[in-house]
Structure 1
């Protein structure tokens, strides 16, 4: 993790998402909410099936998910013992992730984001159902009823 050269709100990150090609380069607007030390080696949820985009000249190949409360932002993290690169799931939903071109064409993330929020215990949910790994639910530590994006 390092500070973006020209954007005061952006961090530039290399995040291991379990791919053979190595870590993904991702930019996130979390600089005003976390220190470099807090971000370093933090397990986070990353949306990977998005088209890359340049943020202030830095090409980002995904998006780090965070819950946004009235006065703070918290990273959405898997349990500490969740395997790196594991695809999260929502109980009752099946299927494979859609491709990057379809995500953009159908504006899928915009629709999905409306259904992402935290509940009691900071548990991340989609349509009221927990977003989970095999090790348990993903959480934003203290935020309840907060939208996730």
Structure 2
């Protein structure tokens, strides 16, 4: 994981994990056998926003755990047959950058 750019969900409520404060969750392609970090397209830089064509809006400042927003959207996150990360079939894109966010080798699986 060192020296690479990855996708993070950063508007989660901070929580301690193994005694360390976590303020984000890394997005990974996932099966019971394998986990793989999702990569943003070439030219992306830290802080770039991920967008979804056809979906507008401003992200919540912080997701409220009691509303279980993550639990509602997570089942709609998938890696498609071309290794692209998708939400309801719409690929993850980085604002202003051509290309999609992708898993390196995995296809047709969930994102966690």
Unaligned runs of 5+ in 2: none
Which of 3, 20, 42 is the equivalent residue of 1:58?
20
> How many Å separate the matches in 2 of 1:57 and 1:70?
26
Residue 103 of structure 1: how far off its partner (Å) = 3.3
2: CA distance between counterparts of 1:51 and 1:103? 7
1:42 maps to 4
What's the TM-score once normalised by structure 1's chain length? 0.70
- CA–CA distance in structure 2, aligned partners of residues 69 and 142 of structure 1: 12
TM-score with structure 2 setting the length: 0.91
- Counterparts of 1:12-91 in structure 2, within 5 Å, are 39-91=1-53
Please give the per-residue CA displacement for 1:22-70, whole angstroms capped at 9, x wherever unaligned. xxxxxxxxxxxxxxxxx11111000000001011111101101101134
**C-alpha distance in structure 2 between counterparts of 1:121 and 1:143, whole Å:** 9
Number of residue pairs the alignment of both structures matches: 110
Larger RCO: Structure 1 or Structure 2 (Cα < 8 Å, ≥ 6 residues apart)? 2
Q: Any runs of at least 4 consecutive aligned residues in structure 1 with deviations exceeding 4 A, and if so which?
A: none
Q: Is the 8 A contact 1:69 1:143 kept in 2?
A: no
Q: 1:141 aligns to what?
A: 104
